[in-house]
Structure 1
Amino acid sequence: MKVFFRSIRAEISFVIVITGILIGTGVGFFIYRSTINKAIDSARSRIETTMAFVKASRDYVRSTLRPKVDELLAAGCTSQDFILEAQSSSFFTASIFTRVNQEIPDMQLRQVAVKPLNPKDKPNETELWIIAYLKSKNLKEFEGITLHRGKEYFIKAFSVIPKKGCLRCHGKVEDMPVAVRNLYNPKEDPNWPVGQVNGAVLVYVPFDKVMEQARIDGIVNGGLVGGVFILMSGIILLILNFRVFKPIDALRDRAEKISKGEIEQPIPYQSENEIGKLAKAIERMRVSLKKVMDMIG
């Protein structure tokens, strides 16, 4: 068997350093994850409040405002056949959120869809992946930390499933209200699939500073704990060096001299601990050996 250490002192020192590194790494990772989890819980709470507003706004437009405006349009109150500001749940919600965002600037609302009328609502690569994921897994929501425009964000997304009434504006171009056609000038039929995930409402919360702080906290606190452990272990090792290792080295040297015939000098022992008892045993061996040598001589 290969021997890696030639002394107990080196072996213990190695174990202390490795243990300190492992403890520091473990503590650092725990603090890193705890910091992120706390930030996620905080962001999730804020997003859920925001999404409650978004859902309520979209539902209000669909169930109350849009039907009322339809009645007014049918009564001939205006020559327009569609009033975007009042009948589009997405436009209404985005407009309100823009004003709210002035008070809460660290959140971003995105309402995206496959083949949207408004080019601004075209999903980016990350959003396309989220929509595809929601659709393939038949999920209503998704959350996670992702990279967006070079920065880290915590994203929570809710699936958008078109209903039959959505086809008025998102079906065929020829069936769209004139006001919608004139505003967006669509080149092809959107033909949103009814009953299937075709988009998502997403809220972005900046997370790059949180991630950076989590990494710093993890490294600093992990290094501190690991360093304290190594320091305390070093103090213990220093005590062991004076109380154990050096006395053992001295006894080893005396035992080697005795084995070479140097038996005149007595071995001093002052303690009653294990090392003191070992010194007494070696001293008895020296005395016995000296008596034998004297008898022979």
Structure 2
Amino acid sequence: MPLKTLKLGPKFNLLLALIFLAGFALSGLALSQVLQNRAQAEVADKAQMLIQSMSSVRDYTSTQIGPLLNPQLKTSPNFIPETIPAYSATEVFQNLRKSENYREFFYKEAAPNPTNLRDKADGFEASLVERFQGDPKLKELSGFRDLPGGRIFYTARPLAVTKESCLQCHSTPDVAPKSLIATYGPDNGFGWKLNEIIAAQIVSVPAEEVLGNSRRLLTLIMGIVLAVFLPLILVLNYLLRRSVIRPLRQMARTAEAVSMGQMDVDFEQKSQDEIGSLAGAFNRMKSSLQISMNLLNQRKGT
């Protein structure tokens, strides 16, 4: 049905509904983006805190645990992994994941050339390391990544060899502890250099953990908006019918009666607004028409 053939009430309701739906959709899209960015920022902040915590564990292992166990490392037939900062950080994080707040987080020190193949970087992680190596000023990378198990959100920071003590296990196989060679072999984790970026600390979380929170919050907010504005629209529709449509319908009926010769009816003038002014103008027009008809009848009578 063409819009121009609709009556004023349905036409206004249709236009109001279209405006409301368009505003609701646009505000929903904008709010969705804002909430998603906020959720990403919150997860990124938590990931940064976790990376800093794991860096503290690494420093503690390197400065406190390592000096105590290194003498044993040189003579022990069995390798002591507790002397390795990466091992300590990974183990501490595994314990941290037992907490409900961090169960969905994952930590990895991804290295293209690790001693322990558990830390071997895949192609994507190796590209992050290459970006850190190519730009020493780059301190952090974050974003989404698609994996066979689902989409994840990651935060990564470069990991460099900052202490010469690290090179006793990672320079060449001939100077490395024999227990390390016996455990991991002579082919991996060697050739590192001082101040070289050799890995990336990566904290990741399933994307659903990020996007799910923003969607739930969006649903709640949009529900509140709908609950607030829908009654307002109904009230506005009621006021429109009472103040505009109903008086106009009454005027239309009165005008039809006048056109049929019923001059004893008046246009109701209940307000001083535009509708009231229109009713007053119609009454004056009816009076003028009545006077003209009376004069015309008098002339015919004479």
TM-score above 0.5, yes or no: yes
Instruction: Label 1:20 to 1:182 Cα distance change in 2 as closer, same or farther (>3 A).
Output: same
Q: How many residues align?
A: 289
Report the Cα distance in structure 2 between the residues aligned to 1:249 and 1:129, rounded to whole angstroms: 73
- Larger relative contact order, structure 1 or 2 (CA cutoff 8 Å, min sep 6): 1
| 8 Å contact from structure 1 (residues 57, 93) kept in 2 | yes
Secondary structure of the residue aligned to 1:115 is coil
2:86 corresponds to 1:87? no
Quote the offset at 1:121 in angstroms.
Answer: 0.8
Tell me by how many angstroms 1:222 deviates. 0.6
CA contact (8 A) 1:143 1:155 kept: yes
Q: What code does the residue aligned with 2:109 have?
A: Q
After superposition, where does 1:99-248 map in structure 2 within 5 Å?
99-103=95-99, 106=103, 107-137=105-135, 138-144=137-143, 146-148=145-147, 150-163=149-162, 165=164, 166-187=166-187, 190-192=190-192, 194-206=194-206, 208-209=208-209, 211-248=211-248
Q: Secondary structure at the match of 1:54?
A: helix
Tell me if the contact between 2:159 and 2:198 (Cα under 8 Å) persists in the aligned partners.
yes
Q: Which amino acid aligns with 1:119?
A: L
Distance 1:211 1:49 in 2: 20
- Alignment CA distance shift 1:38-1:209 (3 Å): closer
1:97 aligns with 2:96: no
The answer for unaligned runs of 5 or more in structure 1 is: none
What percentage of aligned pairs have identical amino acids?
A: 19
Contact 2:115 2:188 in 1 (8 A): no
Name the CA shift for 1:130/1:239 in 2 (closer, same or farther; >3 Å). Answer: same
- Kept in 1: contact 2:39–2:210 (CA 8 A): no
1:269 Cα offset (Å): 1.4
Amino acid at match of 2:85: S
Residues 127-171 of structure 1 deviation map (CA, whole Å, 9 limit, x = unaligned):
344434444553223344555553454533221123473444444
| Separation in structure 1 between the aligned mates of residue 116 and residue 73 of structure 2, nearest angstrom | 23
> Cα gap change, 1:272/1:182 in structure 2, threshold over 3 Å: closer, same or farther?
same
Once the two structures are TM-superposed, the CA of residue 113 in structure 1 deviates from its matched residue by 0.8
Q: Which runs of 5+ in 2 are unaligned?
A: 298-302
Contact 2:254/2:265 (CA < 8 Å) preserved in 1?
no
Matched, 1:53 2:53: yes
How do 1:24-35 and structure 2 match up within 5 A?
24-25=24-25, 26=27, 30=31, 33-34=34-35
Could you report, residue by residue, the CA deviation over 1:3-53 in whole angstroms, capped at 9, with x for unpaired residues?
Answer: 965655455434432443355442685378448736853x55654554343
1:198 alignment partner, SS class: strand
Shift of 1:95: 2.9
Alpha carbons 2:13, 2:237 under 8 Å: kept: yes
How much is the aligned-residue C-alpha RMSD, in angstroms?
3.8
Rounded Cα–Cα distance in structure 2 between residues aligned with 1:224 and 1:53: 39
